[in-house]
Amino acid sequence: LQHLLTTEGLPRDVITRILDTAEPFADVAEREVKKVPLLRGKSVFNLFFENSTRTRTTFEIAAKRLSADVINLNIATSSTNKGETLLDTVDNLAAMQADMFVVRHASSGAPYLIAQHLEATGRDHIHVVNAGDGRHAHPTQGLLDMYTIRHYKRDFTQLSVAVVGDILHSRVARSQIHALSTLGVPDLRAVAPKTLLPQDIERLGCRVFHDMREGLRGVDVVMMLRLQNERMQGSLLPSAQEYFKFFGLTEEKLALAKPDAIVLHPGPMNRGVEIDSAVADGRQAVILPQVTFGIAVRMAVMAMLGGGNA
């Protein structure tokens, strides 16, 4: 791997290798000895132009557990506020001997722009990881979700999986759907109102359900999504109460899934909007294990990019 920008087109063997590589790192996280030397001497720059709690923090923990030096650029107090361009910022950080950029940006394609720029200027030893770009992709979230599903359910080729909610605006949903499809999930469902589905949803391999109860019937995995109000305007914006009534995950709706179905959510959650607290904190939720597995999966991605013998 040179960069990780999307799960679209990522071959099955590469996804599987990332998940396999993450397995022993998940053990590292649970043991006393928390560090491995795979990125010793390397510098990882976290460039988060959009807010984050889970992704930024787990990338930092992951890089530190690989023994890298981690630099978190504080965008709010950086010179981007004086008009410095994204690529000038990147050039200056590259001049500080960066080895890896972890990039979150509101604009779809920003991490691609950085990767292309580095390659075009002969600095292809610097790796780029997309930590979420606009509504396009969030590949490490998609991969940690695959790790979580594999941990609890083992065989993707036997599963019914429902991706539920605001799929239209969700970079997480796109990354999940590409990965689930590549891993051979035979029954992949998109459960959402018409207004919150992308036009190409069936081309992506999903069966569409506008009735949540029908969409959840008999599934093994329920992947909830946040209602992304910040990416909507005017008529698209449903009221929280109305949305919860039709697409909020309650215990009563979850009872239609298999009894051992698991519930994922990438966070941040809006309780009482897309998910009821009784489910979010209930026995079928694996939402906090997702966060923990995210450290191991991000360790695996960075170790494979950084050339460690992971």
By the criterion CB under 6 A, which residues form the site for ligand CP? 52-55, 132, 138, 141, 266-268
| Nearer Cβ to ligand CP (264/303) | 264
Q: Which residues are known binding-site members for carbamoyl phosphate?
A: 54-55, 104, 138, 141, 267-268
Query: Min. distance of Cβ 129 from ligand CP in angstroms?
Result: 13
| Nearer Cβ to ligand CP (215/294) | 294
Q: Cα separation of 170 and 181, whole Å?
A: 17
Beta bridge partners of 207: 189
Query: Min. distance of Cβ 298 from ligand CP in angstroms?
Result: 11
Q: Cα separation of 305 and 302, whole Å?
A: 5
Query: Min. distance of Cβ 139 from ligand CP in angstroms?
Result: 11
Query: Min. distance of Cβ 35 from ligand CP in angstroms?
Result: 23
Query: Min. distance of Cβ 294 from ligand CP in angstroms?
Result: 8
Closest CA to 267 of 105, 89, 107, 55: 55
Q: Cα separation of 212 and 247, whole Å?
A: 6
Q: Cα separation of 215 and 156, whole Å?
A: 18
Question: Residue 139, preceding bond cis, omega within 30 degrees?
Answer: no
Q: Both tokens of residue 235?
A: 């008529």
| Nearer Cβ to ligand CP (118/173) | 173
Query: Min. distance of Cβ 48 from ligand CP in angstroms?
Result: 8
Chain centroid to CA 264: 12
| Nearer Cβ to ligand CP (50/99) | 50
* Whole-Å CA distances, 173 to 28, 85, 283: 29, 29, 23
Whether residue 227 contacts residue 165, with contact meaning beta carbons closer than 8 Å, is answered with: yes
| Nearer Cβ to ligand CP (274/310) | 274
| Nearer Cβ to ligand CP (25/48) | 48
Q: Which residues are known binding-site members?
A: 54-55, 82, 104, 138, 141, 171, 226, 267-268
Whose CB is nearest to ligand CP?
Answer: 55
Helix axes of 287-305 and 54-65: crossing angle, nearest 10 degrees: 50
| Nearer Cβ to ligand CP (105/138) | 138
Query: Min. distance of Cβ 54 from ligand CP in angstroms?
Result: 4
